[in-house]
Amino acid sequence: MTELFGQVNKLDPNKGLVTLRMSDDDLHTLQKYHATNQQQVLSVIASDDNEPTPKQRRFAFAILKDIWNSQVGGVWLETKESMREHFYTMYEYYYGLEYGEFSLSAETGKKSNTNEFINMLLYYTALHNIALSVKPLNELEPQEIAHWEYQCLMNKCCVICGRRPSDLHHLDTIGQGVDRRKTNHLKHRAVQLCRVHHQMAHSMGIETFLQREHLTGIKIDERIAEVHRLNTGE
């Protein structure tokens, strides 16, 4: 059985028809099954506000797959199942849950727990420079984007693609002719960008770039300044 995800786009109760909006990958998979001319039965599970959304679950499984493909880890990488169990157990330990309590299942999982789990996985990928197959900014819940922006600044990985090397990119004008090595960087906004996306930001214009990628920037604090060796004095 293959698990696919879709968002309800239109309902027609009179005809019993449901139109779904699906990702290109899931739609391609469904087309492959349909091409066999075998009768297909789809199981549809509706989620409420407390359950993990299909988008969350798809993103979490995609990150787990990226970690598996990278083979960065310990003995728990023996199988895909042991790797997944390792991260489930890690989450339960750090967030005070009982063993086996965490789940990504639409039936028993929770939306807030899934957000925390995704953030934990993203922290691991940023720390170990693991390439991501999907853009976090396209998959994260709006309230979680700032958390990812901060992690990228702390771990020096691109906020768009997660790649290294990358550089801190200032969003606020410090002033023409001002030596950035001597100015106080605290509370100035910044994002972390690789060279490709840094150039893209300059080409498009920073405001257009920020709007397209749904970024607001993070105000530099003491921790970020220390990581990037930025001046914090007058």
Looking at the domain assignment, is residue 207 inside a domain? yes
Q: Could you say which of 134, 169, 190 is where a domain stops?
A: 134
Residues 75 and 103 in one domain: yes
Residues 58 and 38 in one domain: no
Residues 168 and 200 in one domain: yes
Looking at the domain assignment, is residue 139 inside a domain? no
Looking at the domain assignment, is residue 7 inside a domain? yes
Confidence (pLDDT) at 167: 94
Residues 167 and 218 in one domain: yes
Query: Which stretch of DSSP H or E encloses residue 139?
Result: helix 136-139
Confidence (pLDDT) at 79: 92
Q: Tell me the pLDDT of the chain (234 aa) as tens digits.
A: 566 666 666 676 666 777 876 666 677 777 776 666 666 666 665 554 578 888 899 999 999 999 999 998 888 888 999 999 999 999 999 989 899 899 998 788 898 899 999 999 999 998 898 888 999 998 988 878 998 999 999 999 999 988 889 999 998 776 554 556 667 888 889 999 999 999 999 999 989 999 998 898 999 999 999 999 988 876
Confidence (pLDDT) at 166: 93
Looking at the domain assignment, is residue 148 inside a domain? no
Residue-number span of the structural domain to which 73 is assigned:
54-134
Residues 79 and 36 in one domain: no
Looking at the domain assignment, is residue 149 inside a domain? no
3-state SS, residue 73: coil
Residues 29 and 4 in one domain: yes
Residues 64 and 97 in one domain: yes
Q: Could you say which of 134, 150, 179 is where a domain stops?
A: 134
3-state SS, residue 193: strand
Looking at the domain assignment, is residue 100 inside a domain? yes
Confidence (pLDDT) at 122: 93
Confidence (pLDDT) at 222: 93
Query: Which stretch of DSSP H or E encloses residue 22?
Result: strand 17-22
Confidence (pLDDT) at 48: 45
Confidence (pLDDT) at 33: 67
Residues 124 and 167 in one domain: no
Looking at the domain assignment, is residue 117 inside a domain? yes
Looking at the domain assignment, is residue 9 inside a domain? yes
**CA distances, 170 to each of 112, 150, 167 (Å):** 32, 14, 10
Confidence (pLDDT) at 83: 93
Residues 63 and 128 in one domain: yes
Contacts of 56 (CB under 8 A, 6+ apart): 111, 114, 115, 118, 141
User: How many domains, the chain?
Assistant: 3
Residues 113 and 171 in one domain: no
Contacts of 168 (CB under 8 A, 6+ apart): 153, 156, 190, 191, 192, 224, 228, 230
> Cα separation of 229 and 176, whole Å?
21
